[in-house]
């Protein structure tokens, strides 16, 4: 770098997805410490990761001053959708948008496109596998492991989705074993639960979600890297969203279940997402509920309105 050139001139490549206030904060911080920055070797190479750290610092300091200590977390679940062209378009939309720095964003991408999406999505957006097996490697044709996800830069995995339970016959036990292994390998887990319409109509919602949580609890020792996604099956892909009150009722039940069965601390800290036909039109009202800490979004995560869902708390 030319010695007369300001560090700010070369380093203000803050991700476009970072909201203007976070960009300003990062710029001011770098300006203040300009002298020290000049002493580093190879600033250009490290600049992006340092900016990301600053951005995270900003986002976290803001979160803690807010009502809930739980950082809002929005997942996009692309399921078996997309191709290179549409993934490039979605990534461009997310890179160009001002995303709320107080919201953690993660995209569940088809396995074959994970690396491609990782390279195109903003660095502030996490990437998730939509499934992973319960062991590191071996003769399991067609499966992928948490170690492989980590290897290509994914840091999350979605487990226990109702489509995996219903279509691929995954049991509570298998899903819990997968969660245990994924956590041990250092992945973060979106652990899905939820009742079917028949179960809801039979008044069994709480019983079903408690059973699913019990299975996870038998295998999970540390809940720090877990986000629970409550997704009533009757609301998934049907356009029938649970009302904010219906969702809050189950989230409050889960919060109490965690207090009674795990600990007060885990109950206070664990994030519980709502999933099932979340759209830009209903996200704001759902996000106002005290125990809803984010969303897992299917169909709408493939559309530009996903940005408004991410920003639902603004």
> With contact defined as beta carbons under 8 Å apart, do 126 and 155 qualify?
yes
Nearest distance from C-beta of residue 275 to ligand PGA, angstroms: 4
CB 190 within 8 A of CB 159: yes
Structure tokens at 261: 């069965």
CB 277 to ligand PGA: min, Å: 4
Q: Which is nearer to ligand PGA, 54 or 233 (CB)?
A: 233
**Closer residue to ligand PGA in complex, CB, 71/165:** 165
CB 213 within 8 A of CB 257: yes
Q: Establish whether 161 is a catalytic residue.
A: yes
State the CB neighbour count (10 A cutoff) for residue 113: 17
Q: How far is the CB of 50 from ligand PGA (least distance, A)?
A: 34
- Beta strands in the chain, from DSSP E residues, in sequence order: 72-77, 103-108, 125-129, 156-159, 188-193, 226-230, 271-275, 294-297
217: left (phi over 0), alpha (psi -120 to 50) or beta: alpha
Which pair of structure tokens corresponds to residue 3?
């010695």
Report which residue's Cβ sits closest to ligand PGA.
Answer: 298
Residue 281: count other Cβ atoms within 10 Å of its Cβ. Answer: 12
For residue 116, the minimal CB distance to ligand PGA (Å) is 21
Six-digit token pair at 134? 């319960």
Using the minimum distance from each CB to ligand PGA, give the nearer residue, 102 or 277.
277
Q: Is 231 a catalytic residue?
A: yes
Active-site option among 161, 177, 251, 305: 161
Question: Minimum distance between the CB of residue 281 and ligand PGA, rounded to whole angstroms?
Answer: 13
CB of 247 to ligand PGA, least distance (A): 13
Number of helices and strands (H, E) in the chain?
15, 8
Cβ-based nearer residue to ligand PGA, 101 or 160 = 160
Question: Is 298 in contact with 232 (CB distance < 8 Å)?
Answer: no
- Looking at the Cβ atoms of 154 and 233, the one nearer to ligand PGA is 233
Where does this chain bind ligand PGA (CB under 6 A)? 77, 231, 236-237, 275-278, 296-300
For the chain, how big is the Rg over CA atoms in Å? 20
Given 181, 231, 251, 305, which residue is catalytic? 231
What string of DSSP letters covers 33-56? THHHHHHSSSHHHHHHHHHHHHHH
Nearer to ligand PGA, 250 or 278 (CB): 278
Non-local (6+) Cβ contacts of 300 within 8 A are 278, 279, 280, 306, 309
Catalytic residue list? 161, 231
């Amino acid at each position: 770098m030319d010695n007369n050139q300001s560090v700010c001139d070369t380093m203000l490549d803050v991700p476009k997805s970072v909201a203007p206030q976070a960009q300003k904060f990062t710029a001011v911080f770098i300006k203040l410490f300009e002298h020290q920055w000049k002493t580093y070797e190879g600033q250009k190479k490290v600049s992006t990761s340092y900016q990301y750290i600053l951005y995270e610092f900003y986002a976290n300091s803001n979160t803690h001053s807010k009502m809930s200590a739980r950082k809002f977390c929005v997942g996009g679940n692309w399921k078996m959708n997309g191709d290179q062209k549409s993934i490039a378009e979605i990534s461009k939309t997310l890179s160009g948008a001002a995303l709320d720095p107080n919201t953690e964003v993660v995209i569940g991408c088809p396995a074959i496109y994970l690396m491609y999406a990782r390279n195109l999505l903003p660095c502030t957006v996490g990437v998730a596998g939509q499934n992973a097996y319960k062991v590191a490697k071996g003769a399991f044709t067609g499966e992928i492991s948490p170690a492989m996800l980590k290897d290509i830069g994914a840091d999350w995995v979605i487990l226990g989705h109702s489509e995996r339970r219903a279509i691929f016959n995954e049991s509570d036990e298998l899903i819990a074993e997968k969660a245990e292994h994924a956590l041990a390998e250092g992945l973060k887990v979106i652990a899905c639960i939820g009742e079917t319409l028949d179960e809801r109509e039979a008044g069994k919602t709480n019983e079903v979600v408690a059973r699913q949580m019990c299975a996870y609890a038998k295998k999970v020792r540390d809940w720090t890297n877990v986000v629970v996604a409550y997704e009533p099956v009757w609301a998934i892909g049907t356009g029938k969203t649970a009302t904010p009150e219906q969702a809050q009722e189950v989230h409050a039940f889960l919060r109490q279940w965690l207090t009674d069965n795990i600990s007060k601390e885990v109950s206070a800290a664990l994030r519980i997402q709502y999933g099932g036909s979340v759209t830009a039109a209903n996200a704001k009202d759902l996000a106002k509920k005290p125990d809803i800490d984010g969303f897992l979004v299917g169909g709408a995560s493939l559309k530009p309105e996903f940005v408004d869902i991410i920003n639902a708390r603004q």
